[in-house]
Amino acid sequence: MHRAFHVIQRLFLLCFILAVIGILLAGGWLAGLCVLAAAGWMVRGQVTIRHFTLWLLIGGFLLRVAVILVLNPPIISDFGLLFEASQSLSAGDTSFQQMRYFSLWAYQSVFVAWQAMFLVVWNNPLMIKIVNALLSAGTVCLLYRLARGHVRESTAQAAMLMLTAFPFALTLPTVLTNQVSSAFFLTIGAWLLASRDCTRLGFWRFPLAGLALQAGNLLRSEGIILVVAALAYAFFTVLHRPETVKRILCGMAALFVVYGAVGVGADAVVRASGLNVNGTANGYPGWKFVTGLNFSTSGGYSTDDWNQLSATFDESGPTEATEAVQHELISERLSAGPKALLLHAVHKCKLLWCNDALNWAFGHLQLHDYLTLVYDSIQKMDRLLFYAALLLAAFGVCRPCRTPAAYLPLFVVFAAFCVFLLIEVQPRYAYLPQLFLFCGASLGLDRLIGKEENHA
């Protein structure tokens, strides 16, 4: 009877676990919880993988290529316009610059040239997607190298496992967006600035970081986020180690000189080459602030605002009448009062941070039967991993004895949070800060081990 009891007991435990798995599967939570369980197992067991950077690059790239082959979203919105311009440029035709889009947003010409460079090799959107897959996997590797100098090896690897499985970052390479390539170069800048891998570079890490940051900024105008984070890093470093003040000040000066010089040089090259007579200028920077203050769209794109403002344009773009309408709209919205502005900020945070952006990769699919369950699981996994990373980052930032370099990923997240309170938001705009959020989550995973060690 005793033996029968143990057999029946084990059978019940197995059946109960299967029931739990069935409930989690039906609810869409199983995949995300499995990833978190694997990360927790690596952390608690101090499990490390040899040659992890190489495996992360190869595995991440192959996983993204598989996603690209399965998902083939249509090239819509601005992506379609930019791709057509890139195809024209690859054939030697620069007439696209005559379009109002490229006279207003001339800085997009750099991304057009970037895509055209690969389309010359193979004139197929799949070529750009494969490049995106490689750069996306490379970005995760850089974030791992950045994290591993400040936390235990197992926790850095666990955090990157979470990021590798993060559906938004995994599927965005299927979309012909400039976010992937820009984030790669911006991450190189952060890696050069704060990673132990670059210690031997000495003072050169600063101007090289400036070069990488401007390269990322030219592809997508998000360099300001990393620049602000770099300033915070420098400020905290000087407070933490006052004896480094001269080196940090000179280094940051070199970073900004290179960052500015490369930006000016790129503008001159774009003009001189005939790529765009307006260089890399932003012909209407006020637009992002107007739509970012639109209460009815929670700071998202507003067709009504655009129609109202664009009606005042002339052939060359915005006019004095445009500036007058813009000033009126901004003044009216800023005068709504503190309560309305605070509520608007909450709505913007919800739109940007609390919504997944998977529709760009999955929106074209006709979901039915089991595909609905699969997509629901992917959405739940995306949000579960994001909120886990968010809570882990908050848990890790409270730990004392961290060096300023360890906080650099969180400086990026906070800088993005502040910047997007002012300008237009969309859920996919959270891509860059979310990458660094997972890097910062390694601090929380490290603290969960419970052994206070200083990784300075």
Question: Residues 19-66: pLDDT tens digits?
Answer: 888 888 877 788 888 888 888 888 887 888 899 999 999 999 999 999
Q: Whole-prediction pTM value?
A: 0.94
Percent of the chain residues topping a pLDDT of 90: 74
Is 90 exceeded by the pLDDT of residue 89?
yes
Predicted confidence at residue 257, as pLDDT, reads 97
Whether 106 contacts 282, CB under 8 Å: yes
- For residue 11, give every residue at least 6 positions away whose Cβ sits within 8 Å of its Cβ, in sequence order, or none: none
Look up tokens 């949000």; give the residue. Answer: 383
DSSP 3-state of 314: strand
- The more confidently predicted of residues 202 and 401 is 202
Predicted pLDDT of residue 401: 60
> What band does 11 get if pLDDT is binned at 50, 70 and 90?
confident
What's the token pair of residue 62? 């192959």
Task: Report residue 356: phi and psi, to 5°.
Answer: -80, 160
Tokens, residue 117:
């460079």
User: Model confidence at 400, in pLDDT bands (50, 70, 90)?
Assistant: low
**What are the tens digits of pLDDT across the range 298-315?**
999 999 999 999 899 888
Give me the pLDDT at residue 48, please.
83
d(CA 318, CA 315): 9
